[in-house]
Structure 1
């Protein structure tokens, strides 16, 4: 008899689609109005080009899929949807800080937060435009 129990998926540990959708709802509301992110005119324009409800739907789909849920993401790849936005490393840090604050607000345990940040971090190279460091002098 196998006494080993299967660990619940991250999706299950996060509480499933309803809990994920609630976090995404708050998170998108915050990033859409973050002055540090909207200082980038390309990001600001993108934030106003699509209805917020549709954006929240796609992000919820994506988070559910990558955490082991039954949903399938139907949007563009991260590279396709971000390559034209010229997102900087400092904007990424602001985005991550907002994400962390929302996860804390919803009392997502640290272990699950670490897994989520590993997933989000894996998309950084598709989102952030690295700029060469200029040397003065």
Structure 2
């Protein structure tokens, strides 16, 4: 009952000639034809396997980034928050190299933000208590 499918490109003398197959000479299997006798294209969806989260994820320093943003330096803390979020996303996607890079950048930004905040706080306190507000314009 099953019909043999003819090859799209015939073998032998006409193998290099792409015009050798005529549309009427191709026989389609009964399962390939729809109920209107029109050819149906069956496409298998691509296989994409998401990577599993890392078993020992890189630290994301999210709490440290929030502290830096709220208490020390808002600009550097906000940048550190972005890298902390990217670290979490990379950890969840199983991308260790990207997670490690983002984690290291977040840590450096947090350290610099705390130092900048400490320097600004020290300058403000010196200006307020030692110089009686004459040194800094704010």
Tell me the TM-score range normalised by the shorter chain. Answer: under 0.3
TM-score by length of 1: 0.24
**Structure showing greater relative contact order (alpha-carbon pairs closer than 8 Å, 6 or more residues apart):** 1
TM-score by length of 2: 0.24
Larger radius of gyration: 2
Higher helix share: 1
